[in-house]
Amino acid sequence: MSHRGRVEVICGSMFSGKTEELIRRMKRAQFAHQKVEIFKPAIDTRYSDDDVVTHEGVAIPSTPVENSASILLLGSNSDVIGIDEAQFFDENLPSICNRLAEKGIRVIVAGLDVDYMGKPFGPMPNLCAIADEVMKVHAICVRCGSLAYISHRKVAGDQQVQLGATNEYEPLCRECYQREMHR
């Protein structure tokens, strides 16, 4: 059976349903009897060391990896590859995804497009640029109910990568984020 390779990106703020959409697509591929592999960065141990887990607790088995090259090695015999928390991977991820797609593999990538300061995050901008399809999903601003634009960090720390969930981050729209930054 021949499959056309492609790269699909699901991006947006925290609490927008990125991982939920990734899991939905992967489960559909499994239902269609396609060989799937799901990868996540080894540093993401928030809800599980091994599984990809949504904030609501929905989980799917995955393989934690240290870098994007491992995805190329471990996923080459798959029909569909899922990659969660792509913003935490190295800058080689877009070229790895391209190589997999050129081999006929469907690659589905989920990640934050911007960090807590609104700056493009890791390899995500380049992934969006090379993708066949980009889906931007939105959380709801916890302050006003508009579509959220950013994952506002509620705790101290200025490093770009700081794992967390609802205690550490909240989705805010652009206006509420600007108001927060000028307090």
Annotated active-site positions, please? 85
Tell me the H-state helices in the chain: 18-31, 68-75, 93-102, 124-130, 174-181
Inter-axis angle of helices 93-102 and 68-75, nearest 10: 20
Reduced to 3 states (helix: H, G, I; strand: E, B; else coil), residue 40 is strand
Q: Are 63 and 74 in contact (CB under 8 A)?
A: yes
Q: Are 64 and 41 in contact (CB under 8 A)?
A: yes
